[in-house]
Structure 1
Amino acid sequence: MKKKPVSIRDIAEELKTSVTTVSFVLNGKAKEKHISKELTKKVLDYAKLINYRPNQIAQSLRTGKSKILVFMVEDISNNFFSKLARIFEDIAYDKGYKVIFCSNDNDDEKSNELINLFNFRQVDGFIIVPSPGIKDTVENLINDNIPVILLDRFFEGLDCNSVVIDNEQASFDATLHLIDNKFKNIGFITTASDQTQMQGRLSGYEKAVNENGLKSNTLQIPYNEIYKGKGKEYVKNFLDQHADLDAVFFATNYLAQSGLEVFKENNPRLIYDLGIIAFDDNDMFKIYDPTITSVSQPLVEISTTLMEIMLSLLKKKDVTEIPHKIMLKTELIIRESSLRKQLYI
């Protein structure tokens, strides 16, 4: 038979004091409530002796705060999201919050199921990398006065806090870097998506090639095909059909990884012959031969900004006040793969 957990009332009865006094001591308010050092020590020592653990659910019901945040991303195994989550976890912990991480696989049904589950569990707030069709779900959270911050992408026409990067400018600058290094036939490999971050990257690429009188060569792979592991097949076919390409810009790091595998498996010479840039840096890019140029997002700045906005929202009585919409800059980390080939080889 499972042993019944010890409650504050049990401690109070054992020490012949009030439940309120024990509660104040265990919640660190003994000095504020003028409880003697002797009684404070007595309560704390006994709680330690019996290995007392507070009932978090009861505590959250009493205070209205769970001190738990949800951090929902597309894929927590993705290098960008996992690094970002790790940094955010440390920042949140220092502020007294625990974080639940989850992946929605860019799937609306899974997103809604997870959001409903954690909302029922009364978490304090959500940081969400939203799948395409959950605009109404996010709006309902806001209308219920629940703190929400959208990350990486946002919904047009929805007044919601968001932290994103300037995807269009980042993509424009990266493409222009290739053009400045004399690449004239640049392919752009991306996902087929109407989401703001991917549209921004595509727009930046097209703007750069159009302004410089070059031809646009794009491959847009359906996300579900990438999820099924067919991304490499699409990349290979694209390269076979565009043998005149002299550079390739990958719109995500996982697409870049697929592309590099295609090069190695089908034509190892391509990694040296083509100019290459990947959106989102990866530690592995530093040790490839050649090293891979990448667009790097400011992970620490993103995480810090997310926490600052979340703490502000948690203090507000009305989270529907004018939302914070933050757009941060990226850094182009120039490595060997995007240099003029006559200088590199």
Structure 2
Amino acid sequence: MTKKISIVDIANTLNISKTTVSFILNGRAQEKRISEELVERVLKLVKEVGYKPNSLAKSLRTGKSNIIGLMVEDISNPFFASIARLIEDRAYEKGYRIIYCSTDNDTGKTQDLITMFRDRHVDGYIMAPPSNIDDDVRSLLKSGSPVVLFDRYLPEVETDYVVVDNQFSTYNATRHLIEQGYSKIAFITFSSQQSQMMDRVTGYKNAMKEAKLKTFIKEVDFNRNEELIIEPIHAYLKKNPTIDAVLFGTDHMGTCGLKVINQLGLKVPDDIAVVSFDDYDVFKLHSPPVTAIAQPIETIADNIITLLLKKLDNGNAQTMQKITLSTNLNIRNSSKQVVKAV
């Protein structure tokens, strides 16, 4: 196994001190009045031997790693993947790298990931938090680490966050279905106590109550096995054949729901109208195209990284901000009332 080159090796080869090598590699040669000739010799040798500095050791010396930890529910989800990519691009422009990972909405896994990030001395945290990590986030804030939450927030923790108006979004989508003439509208979503999911249920309930209509709510436990999501949706729709429209609480729930509707031999929107939270290519390409609540992906990402960079630049002294953004209901043929011939 090839021995990893160290600063000491470079110093010994050139017969100079390791402190001098360190000053040169950290851009302090002019400050320390080190000759240009020696700087050239050091940099030439560094290039020849392929020396790479120990980033962890450097972060311990400087107190800065230029790394940001990004934790999302599922990095393969189109919403989170798009957000992560935009954040990564902006962060890189400012000299930061992103390490991102999926929490699977698992509290224990998230706590392990936070520990890993702390061991890596990341400079800041961006997360879509699962439930029951309030104390962990408070601990990060107490230690001086900036934290920006997004997609959902922790009601009992005072920190920066960027979310959308989930309550109005589902209220507006439900009102759209009601105005199209649908009356037996179901809301099918994941069972969750997270802020964004609870707000979406509330928005649906408010619209149905306002119209004096009965609610049809089906909550499904989250599972990475798609079949365990499809089965309860299938059973629910089969048990309630009079439902004439359905609002799905997430894009993943929406794609699973469309598969169920197809399995049941139902036609959209002739037999059942469909609206889903989150908009992406699958819904646009579906026949008919699916009405969806579109989150402003670029604006969300821009606000998240802007907040965190300001915290990092100002030593976490930046005023706390709680940002709520609007969504857009993209109306397509899946939710338009079909006039049936008499």
TM-score, normalised relative to structure 2: 0.91
Query: Contact 2:269–2:337 at 8 Å: present in 1 too?
Result: no
Aligned residue in 2 for 1:336: 333
Residues 35 and 335 of structure 1: CA distance in aligned 2, closer, same or farther (over 3 Å):
farther
Q: Aligned partners of 1:181, 1:291: CA distance in 2, in Å?
A: 17
Query: Quick one: distance in 2 between partners of 1:180 and 1:38?
Result: 78
Q: How many Å separate the matches in 1 of 2:27 and 2:185?
A: 62
**Aligned residue for 2:220?**
221
Closer/same/farther in 2, CA of residues 149 and 85 from structure 1, 3 Å limit: same
Please give the per-residue CA displacement for 1:130-151, whole angstroms capped at 9, x wherever unaligned.
1111111111111111121112
Counterpart of 1:160 in structure 2 is 159
2:156 match: secondary structure: coil
Q: How does 1:171-186 map to 2 (within 5 A)?
A: 171-186=170-185
Structure 2 SS opposite 1:214: coil
- Secondary structure in 1 aligned to 2:214? coil
8 Å contact 2:134–2:156 — kept in the other structure?
no
Q: Which residue is equivalent to 1:75?
A: 74
Tell me which residue corresponds to 2:207. Answer: 208
Contact map agreement 1:263 1:271 (CA 8 A) in 2: no
C-alpha separation in 2, matches of 1:340 and 1:34: 78
Q: Number of aligned pairs?
A: 340
Give me the whole-angstrom Cα distance separating, in 2, the residues matched to 1:122 and 1:32.
28
Aligned partner letter, 1:210: K
Describe the superposition over 1:45-72 as per-residue Cα deviations: whole angstroms up to 9, x where unpaired: 2211111111111111111111111111
Alpha-carbon deviation of 1:305?
1.2
Q: Please list the CA deviations of residues 51-102 of structure 1 after superposition, one character each: whole Å capped at 9, or x if unmatched.
A: 1111111111111111111111111121211221122111221221111111
Superposed CA deviations along residues 305-336 of structure 1, whole A, max 9, x for unmatched, are 111111122234456x7422111111212222
- 8 Å contact 1:188–1:219 — kept in the other structure? yes
> Contact (CA 8 Å) 2:148, 2:308: kept in 1 or not?
yes
Structure 1: gaps spanning 5 or more residues: none
Aligned counterparts, 1:101-250, within 5 A: 101-223=100-222, 229-250=227-248
Q: Is the 8 A contact 1:272 1:290 kept in 2?
A: no
Aligned-pair CA distance for 1:254: 0.8
What is the correspondence of 1:22-37 to structure 2 with a 5 Å cutoff?
22-30=21-29, 37=36
The 5 A counterparts of 1:50-69 are: 50-69=49-68
Q: Does 2:288 match 1:290?
A: yes
User: Quick one: which of 293, 299, 302 aligns to 1:301?
Assistant: 299
Task: Give the letter for the 1:191 counterpart.
Answer: F
SS at match of 1:273: coil
Identical columns (%): 41
Shift of 1:37: 4.8
RMSD, aligned α-carbons: 2.2
